[in-house]
């Protein structure tokens, strides 16, 4: 009788642990297009041709000799902020 109670108790514990583990499994989150860093810094470059240097607090971008944007690599834990023009061109 003791063995039967112990076995039933063990099954309840194991079943509960399995359900908890499956409930805590990570789920993929949809990332809105506006949150994608490189796309927004390059879009900002197209929309602000008079800006020579801009940042989103994670990346700093400048225009190369040909006018194409050149941006730093964002840090792994950085949360981008609003895009801000730091230096205007003389044009």
Query: Residues 60, 53: contact at Cβ < 8 Å?
Result: yes
Mean pLDDT of 30-34: 48
Compute CA distances 41 → 23, 53, 63, 86, whole Å: 37, 11, 12, 13
Dihedral (Cα; 87, 57, 70, 53), 10-degree rounding: 0
Of 40, 53, 33, 19, the residue nearest 82 (C-alpha): 40
Of 73, 70, 30, the residue nearest 52 (C-alpha): 70
pLDDT tens for each residue of 44-61: 999 999 999 999 999 999
Give the predicted TM-score (pTM) of the model.
0.56
Mean pLDDT of 16-21: 49
């Amino acid at each position: 009788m003791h063995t039967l109670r112990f076995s039933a108790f063990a099954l309840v514990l194991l079943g509960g642990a399995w359900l908890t583990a499956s409930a805590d499994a990570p789920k993929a989150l949809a990332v809105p297009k506006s949150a994608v860093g490189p796309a927004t810094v390059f879009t900002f470059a197209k929309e602000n041709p008079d800006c020579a240097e801009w940042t989103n607090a994670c990346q700093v971008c400048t225009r190369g000799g040909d006018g194409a944007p050149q941006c730093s690599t964002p840090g792994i834990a950085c949360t981008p902020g609003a895009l801000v023009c730091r230096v205007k061109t003389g044009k």
